[in-house]
Structure 1
Amino acid sequence: MISVAQSQLDSQPSSKMTMKHNIENGSSTPFHSKKRVRFASGEFGAKATKNESDPEDSDASFITSTTTNTSSKKIKVTRPMRNVKDFVRNALDERANGKMAGYEKLRRKFQASPEVFDEQSPAPSSQELQMTIKALTSVVSRLDTKCESLVEDIIATNWVGRDNMFVSAYVKLLANLVSAHAHYMGSVTKMLVQNLGSISKVRMNLPGYEPVNKNTVYDRVHFALQYILDLVPTASTSTLYPLLVQCYPHQKDNKVEHILYVDNCLRIIDYVPSIRHKLLTVIISHVIKIDIEIQGDLEDLDDSVGEQLEAEIMQVDVEDDVSEDEDSDDDEEATETTDKPEAEEQDAEEESEDDDEESDAEDDFGGETPEKRLKRLRESVDKLDNLLDLLFGYYAKHIPETEADKIPTREVTESYENLQSTFWQTIFPTYQSRYTQFLMFWAAQRFPHFSDHFSALMVQRMIDGQAPQHTRITSTAYIASYIARAKTVKASDVKSVVNLMCRWLGDYMNLREAECKFPDANRYRWFYQVVQAVMYIFCYRWRDLHFLDEEDEESIELHLANSRSLPWIPDLHVLKRVIGSRFNPLKVCSQAVVDTFADTAFHLQFMTCWSIIEENKRNGLGPEEYMLDCYFPFDPYTLKKSRRWIDPVYIVWQPAKPEDEDDSDENSSDDEDDAAEWPYKVDGEAEVDEGDSSETHSM
């Protein structure tokens, strides 16, 4: 199987690096490999001659010597290779007979660190170690559990920073090892997975070798994984997947560690499709934990500090203390792994050391000073931003944008369905996530078929009387937020959803209005959620809820200028009946939604709500815990980097009443200020304090 990783590795410039060899007499002679590594169809290394099938000839045939103005010639070191093979066989034979001297000497070849010069026990040259690896490959069946200590040393040796020929031989040994001894699969795979995170510069800059960068290291690791999994396919689910979950960075680890690991996981699932859905679910689950932690920390901050951070998040394009150059580096991080993250990782370590030297004055946050807490929150927001940008980029490749009338392919549909499954399993049940759910918001708009399906499922769950109440309430918030904010949703679809919701409200009124004596948020919470959803959609999509041509601005403005109500869709008028009933939803629904709906409905000549609102205020609105919160999952997306995926498909709030239009009505004028940025402060939260029933919090 020929992979992208193989071809990339094959073309690395390190294939022509200078090597220092110490074969028999300990002298160091420079050689240049003139043959590129061939990683294809299970072949490791380059075949130079037709006789290279002979193990004793092929073992050293890749070594060449070059001089100025002369062609390179092959130097066969058959005798040294045979000596190495004899040494390995003798060491294993003696080990079987209880003599450990040769075996321990063999182990020290792999234990010696090439990064540090030790005069007493110098590390073997790359060529010597490579010949040892080839010799071990020929007797791999003997490396059973009795030789486990030697195998551990082989697995622990630094191989990623050497030349391509060494990597070729080493990966071949690993592949043969796990094929002959299945119990080594876990150790080998774990070593490879542990190389998917940050890599120290020391490991990539071995003395006597040209430095390698992170891209080269990761290409080599992916090549090794892919080659081994081709030989042992069952290991992908039994071994690789559990280790990828086990080695996943902790949510408090720095941004660079997360970006590198997630980026490499996304590479893995492209050539190991059997774990794609499960691994993407794990990644999204970790991302949403960071998301929730940020929202919780924001709520715990003092008002002034929280508003400062919220303002920074909202106004990053204007007031961002990250330079354009650093933003450029971040872009490179999220799209391809480079050496940039390592420098940032070092900076992060230095900053961490500086933090340790700061005052340890305790506050209400477990000993964390406000400055440290604010700094940590900024880093968490940046981490979340970059991780979501990676995920959007991944799904953009698998759910590509195409013409609206095109039917998605089977592969595209499968990718969307997998994301949707993860959404229902992980994102939908999670309360207080702020940004992760936008993956679904974005993906559903890639094809009209996806959008219709997503809307239909939400509506179905919203009106399902057998579903738990928190499921119905959450579904109502999602469908309202999606219809209001999704730019690609057609006017006909907006009408269909609102018609259905209004008919449901009418049926509910017919069934239960007689029993209602006064507004009761606990008893009729589901009903109030639907009312609030319709009001919310009306404020955003009123241009789609009448029979005029929504593109005919002149007709719309003419109606408004003549103080004439627009020809609204018939089912919408049930809202007037609902608002004037004893259910009195304006007393229970979020005041941010109520006030903005009242202002919008008044300006559009749909209905007047001020008298009811004033009466409710005079009588008291009741305890906040009985009122609905203003949670709509697709509130404004403000992350500075990943918002580029959302902005093209997102409807921003625009009040129905122009800002420069005077209004003599005192109530309407007072509420116009709220409507201008309705219903959000800088962080996208409701202007009123959120109050929830225990059922809502159980989400």
Structure 2
Amino acid sequence: MPAASMARPSAPLPALKPTKPLLRRSTLSGTVRKADDADLDADLLSVPPSPSKRARVTFNPHVEEKVMQGRSVEQIKAEVRRAIDGHTKGDSEEYDILKEVFSSQQRGQDTTRETGNEEIRKYVHALTNYVSLLGKSCSGLVKAVLDCDWLGRDESFLKAYVQFLGSLASAQGTYVPLVLSKLVDFFPGVRMSSGRLPGYPDVSRVQLTQRVHYAMKYVLRLIPSASATLSPILDRQFPFADETKKAHISYIENLVRVIEYAPELKSDIFSLITDRLVKIDVQMQTDLDDIEDEVAATIVQAISMQPPSGNIHEADEDSEESDDDMVTSDDESHDDAKRIKEVQDNVEKMDAILDLLFSLYEPYFSDPNSIEAATMFDSLLGHFQTIILPTYHSRHTQFLLFHFAQKAEYLVDSFAGTCVKLAFEDNRPAVLRQASAAYLASFVARGAHVQPSVVRVVFDTIGSNLDMLRAENELTCRGPDLRRFGTFYAMTQALLYIFCFRWRDLITSADVFEDEDPTAFLSQELTWVPGIKEMLMRVIYSNMNPLKVCSPPIVAEFAKIAHHLRFMYVYPLLETNKRIRLSQFSSGVANGALRETGSGVNRESWHQLDAYFPFDPYQLPVSKRWVEDDYVPWKGIPGLDQDEDDDDSADEEDEEEEEVDLEEDTATDDEVDD
């Protein structure tokens, strides 16, 4: 039976009768359960003594109507009824006094008088019986009740208060967003002062957080359709990017906890976390790009040397200061020092959030071949297509895909196949197609668990599509033009990048690398996958001239490796390209190509692709542990350096003097040749 219909007010007030609309009156679609049907226990009220033995207290939702110390429940119910009736008739004197009863409970005021703690619970009982009367005109009273300090009181008060929240939300659907929003307010972190109210035993932060979810769980079970209202609230109240690491971690942990009792929000919650993480990622990378490389390296090194922080919520339980309330030194008051501190805080925040996300996703992939793993990976792929891929400056968020895609061969195929599909769909914007090609190349080149067979299939797939693009456009092509043929150049650059990292997988000779001498294979005639050499020759020597438009460091590295392996000799073409001005062939500035924006449109570099490969070395020092075994570092080619010294071509020597190591130009940290 609904809590709001159980009131038995004393004469002369008329008794309230249950009506059908009482529990169905809601602005949300869906059903509303009775309080009895919510079946909520008190597991969340206290920390269990051990994982195997949990304290369980049954929650009887019926209002307890016994005479307690001081005035009885019946007397206070009569007072509450008079106050509400008088307010609706224009006499708000008693109503304002009633509001003050709850307003004075904020920050623990006025709770030391003899019956203060008991009376506030009686008022909650009384209001629970009259929730049907708390319409829009009583919103001030409702807000006063919702704002009072309730988390740190005893369990009997907590149960009464949570029942009030459920009854209010059931009887007055317009208050559902407000009730949920007040609960979500605690997600960035509960203040310890909330658990240290006068007249009550201290309550730990862990227990306070459990009580928040106790209330949230009760409301959502009572009104299942309320989850549709909760989702946008979770989005709206997510901490801003410049808020503290502590606030972000706490909020995300609470979001994940909501999934336990509202699984229908799982997709929305993980999508929200990914969206906000990408924004922090972009800001962090922008900040790092704005400071000197040496300073950025020092920041990362400093974070990596910090001792593990343990549970972020248990650190300094007695402190009420937030991370950004700490006193700074005189040096940090200087603008430069302050800027560096901000950058370091952002890097730490990003690192901590990603470390948390890896740990949250990991259990879903404990059995990579399970339905649970496949479902979660589909969700990750959805986030990739809608959130990560369109964000050009995302630097680390995508490593969630990189790591979990390599858990099983079918997941590798799924991610690679998605990138191929996105890269070659004609109806997609050119910039997304080019980004997809970059993701595909970077994943195949860098993924330690990407099998040689996958490398060959991807190389052949890209090559076949390139051949078609070349055939369709070569006759009308005047010369290299990034605006007109941006996708063609992005695909070509993807092939060059894959070749530089995975050329060993494109060789079909089975015994090439069996000799103990790492340079022995150079004396052999290498057998390459059929057709790839001919395909690359047609592409590279076409009128579209991709080696002039692709990123110079990648072109230089490809030329060096291809020549060393006797795969292809392109130095004469590179020399000819030095005399070509790309600006004379450009059909416009707004090229939509995957590259940085800025001024200087007449510079040659403006008409060339950036060396953008999303899985370049992972920088974040703490969360880096998740991807270290998944990653192919840059490896030098045996004998390549010695051969360079013996080269007789003057043109080639000039070209090599200008070359910059591929890895140093496409990554933000250093890797040493093995």
Q: TM-score range by the shorter chain?
A: 0.7 to 0.9
* Matched AA of 1:96: D
Q: Does the C-alpha gap of structure 1 residues 124 and 192 become closer, same or farther in structure 2, counting only changes over 3 Å?
A: farther
Q: Does the C-alpha gap of structure 1 residues 2 and 97 become closer, same or farther in structure 2, counting only changes over 3 Å?
A: closer
The answer (yes or no) to whether the contact 2:500–2:557 under 8 Å persists in 1 is: yes
Equivalent residues in 2 for 1:588-627, closer than 5 Å: 588-617=549-578, 623-627=604-608
Partner residue, 1:30:
none
Could you tell me how far 1:481 is from its partner in structure 2?
Answer: 0.9
Greater Cα shift, 542-551 or 153-162: 542-551
The answer (yes or no) to whether the contact 1:109–1:123 under 8 Å persists in 2 is: no
* Matched AA of 1:358: S
Q: Does the C-alpha gap of structure 1 residues 144 and 469 become closer, same or farther in structure 2, counting only changes over 3 Å?
A: closer
Partner residue, 1:392:
358
The answer (yes or no) to whether the contact 2:455–2:502 under 8 Å persists in 1 is: yes
Partner residue, 2:212:
221
Equivalent residues in 2 for 1:33-44, closer than 5 Å: 38-39=57-58, 43=60
- For these two proteins, the number of residue pairs brought into alignment is 603
Distance 2:474 2:138 in 1: 80
Could you tell me how far 1:10 is from its partner in structure 2?
Answer: 4.2
The answer (yes or no) to whether the contact 1:85–1:132 under 8 Å persists in 2 is: no
Q: Is 2:302 the counterpart of 1:312?
A: no
Distance 2:202 2:610 in 1: 57
The answer (yes or no) to whether the contact 1:114–1:206 under 8 Å persists in 2 is: no
Distance 2:275 2:330 in 1: 29
Q: Does the C-alpha gap of structure 1 residues 505 and 241 become closer, same or farther in structure 2, counting only changes over 3 Å?
A: closer
* Matched AA of 2:311: E
Distance 2:434 2:304 in 1: 40
Residues 7-56 of structure 1, C-alpha deviations (whole Å, 9 max, x = no match): 2434458xxxxxxxxxxxxxxxxxxxxx96625xx645xxxxxxxx8944
Q: Does the C-alpha gap of structure 1 residues 661 and 146 become closer, same or farther in structure 2, counting only changes over 3 Å?
A: same
Distance 1:426 1:646 in 2: 21
Could you tell me how far 1:142 is from its partner in structure 2?
Answer: 4.0
Residues 233-261 of structure 1, C-alpha deviations (whole Å, 9 max, x = no match): 11110x21222122121111122111111
Could you tell me how far 1:488 is from its partner in structure 2?
Answer: 1.8
Partner residue, 1:90:
79
Distance 2:373 2:261 in 1: 16
Q: Is 2:613 the counterpart of 1:648?
A: no
The answer (yes or no) to whether the contact 1:198–1:257 under 8 Å persists in 2 is: yes
Distance 1:517 1:206 in 2: 79
Partner residue, 1:332:
311
Distance 1:258 1:123 in 2: 41
Greater Cα shift, 505-514 or 156-165: 505-514
Of 85, 96, 99, which aligns to 1:107? 99
Greater Cα shift, 417-426 or 667-676: 667-676
Partner residue, 1:22:
none
Of 280, 292, 309, which aligns to 1:290? 280
Could you tell me how far 1:470 is from its partner in structure 2?
Answer: 1.8
* Matched AA of 1:7: D
Partner residue, 1:21:
none
Of 654, 660, 668, which aligns to 1:682? 668
Partner residue, 1:67:
none
Partner residue, 1:350:
326
Q: Is 2:617 the counterpart of 1:636?
A: yes
The answer (yes or no) to whether the contact 1:256–1:341 under 8 Å persists in 2 is: no
* Matched AA of 2:82: D
The answer (yes or no) to whether the contact 2:108–2:149 under 8 Å persists in 1 is: no
TM-score of the pair, normalised by structure 2: 0.80
SS for the counterpart of 2:515 is helix
Q: Is 2:159 the counterpart of 1:168?
A: yes
Distance 2:610 2:426 in 1: 22
Distance 1:655 1:341 in 2: 51
Distance 1:550 1:163 in 2: 75
SS for the counterpart of 2:617 is coil
Could you tell me how far 1:391 is from its partner in structure 2?
Answer: 2.2
The answer (yes or no) to whether the contact 2:447–2:630 under 8 Å persists in 1 is: yes
Q: Does the C-alpha gap of structure 1 residues 153 and 340 become closer, same or farther in structure 2, counting only changes over 3 Å?
A: same
The answer (yes or no) to whether the contact 1:197–1:261 under 8 Å persists in 2 is: yes
Equivalent residues in 2 for 1:269-284, closer than 5 Å: 269-284=259-274
Could you tell me how far 1:165 is from its partner in structure 2?
Answer: 2.7
* Matched AA of 2:340: L
Could you tell me how far 1:272 is from its partner in structure 2?
Answer: 1.7
SS for the counterpart of 2:449 is coil
Of 185, 199, 202, which aligns to 1:194? 185
Question: What fraction of aligned residue pairs are identical, expressed as a percent?
Answer: 32
Q: Does the C-alpha gap of structure 1 residues 522 and 672 become closer, same or farther in structure 2, counting only changes over 3 Å?
A: closer
Could you tell me how far 1:638 is from its partner in structure 2?
Answer: 0.9
* Matched AA of 1:350: M
* Matched AA of 2:142: V
The answer (yes or no) to whether the contact 1:256–1:344 under 8 Å persists in 2 is: no
The answer (yes or no) to whether the contact 1:198–1:260 under 8 Å persists in 2 is: yes
The answer (yes or no) to whether the contact 1:566–1:604 under 8 Å persists in 2 is: no
Equivalent residues in 2 for 1:541-556, closer than 5 Å: 541-549=502-510, 553-554=514-515
Q: Is 2:630 the counterpart of 1:664?
A: no
Could you tell me how far 1:679 is from its partner in structure 2?
Answer: 3.6
* Matched AA of 2:626: W
The answer (yes or no) to whether the contact 1:56–1:81 under 8 Å persists in 2 is: no
TM-score of the pair, normalised by structure 1: 0.77
SS for the counterpart of 2:69 is helix
* Matched AA of 2:101: K
Residues 396-420 of structure 1, C-alpha deviations (whole Å, 9 max, x = no match): 233x1336xx3x31x3333222222
Partner residue, 2:462:
501
Distance 1:357 1:500 in 2: 54
SS for the counterpart of 2:201 is coil
* Matched AA of 1:332: N
Distance 2:415 2:40 in 1: 35
Partner residue, 1:374:
340
The answer (yes or no) to whether the contact 1:401–1:446 under 8 Å persists in 2 is: no
Equivalent residues in 2 for 1:139-538, closer than 5 Å: 139-237=130-228, 239-299=229-289, 301=290, 305-312=291-298, 316=300, 319-320=301-302, 324-325=306-307, 328-329=308-309, 331-333=310-312, 337-339=313-315, 343=319, 346-351=322-327, 358=333, 369-398=335-364, 400-402=365-367, 406=369, 408-409=370-371, 411-538=372-499
Of 43, 58, 66, which aligns to 1:7? 43
Residues 347-404 of structure 1, C-alpha deviations (whole Å, 9 max, x = no match): 42124x6689935xxxxxxxxx332222211211211222222222222233x1336x
Distance 2:303 2:350 in 1: 18
Partner residue, 2:125:
134
Distance 2:68 2:41 in 1: 35
Could you tell me how far 1:139 is from its partner in structure 2?
Answer: 4.2
Could you tell me how far 1:184 is from its partner in structure 2?
Answer: 2.2
Partner residue, 1:80:
69
Could you tell me how far 1:487 is from its partner in structure 2?
Answer: 1.8
Residues 656-686 of structure 1, C-alpha deviations (whole Å, 9 max, x = no match): 236875642465795698437444353589x
Q: Does the C-alpha gap of structure 1 residues 270 and 222 become closer, same or farther in structure 2, counting only changes over 3 Å?
A: same
SS for the counterpart of 1:281 is helix
Q: Does the C-alpha gap of structure 1 residues 6 and 384 become closer, same or farther in structure 2, counting only changes over 3 Å?
A: farther
Q: Does the C-alpha gap of structure 1 residues 583 and 94 become closer, same or farther in structure 2, counting only changes over 3 Å?
A: closer
Residues 466-518 of structure 1, C-alpha deviations (whole Å, 9 max, x = no match): 43322321221111111111222111111111012222333344444444454
Could you tell me how far 1:541 is from its partner in structure 2?
Answer: 1.0
Could you tell me how far 1:156 is from its partner in structure 2?
Answer: 1.0
Q: Does the C-alpha gap of structure 1 residues 651 and 182 become closer, same or farther in structure 2, counting only changes over 3 Å?
A: same
Q: Does the C-alpha gap of structure 1 residues 117 and 232 become closer, same or farther in structure 2, counting only changes over 3 Å?
A: closer
Q: Does the C-alpha gap of structure 1 residues 500 and 125 become closer, same or farther in structure 2, counting only changes over 3 Å?
A: same
Q: Does the C-alpha gap of structure 1 residues 254 and 341 become closer, same or farther in structure 2, counting only changes over 3 Å?
A: farther
Could you tell me how far 1:578 is from its partner in structure 2?
Answer: 2.8
Distance 1:641 1:560 in 2: 39
The answer (yes or no) to whether the contact 2:303–2:348 under 8 Å persists in 1 is: no
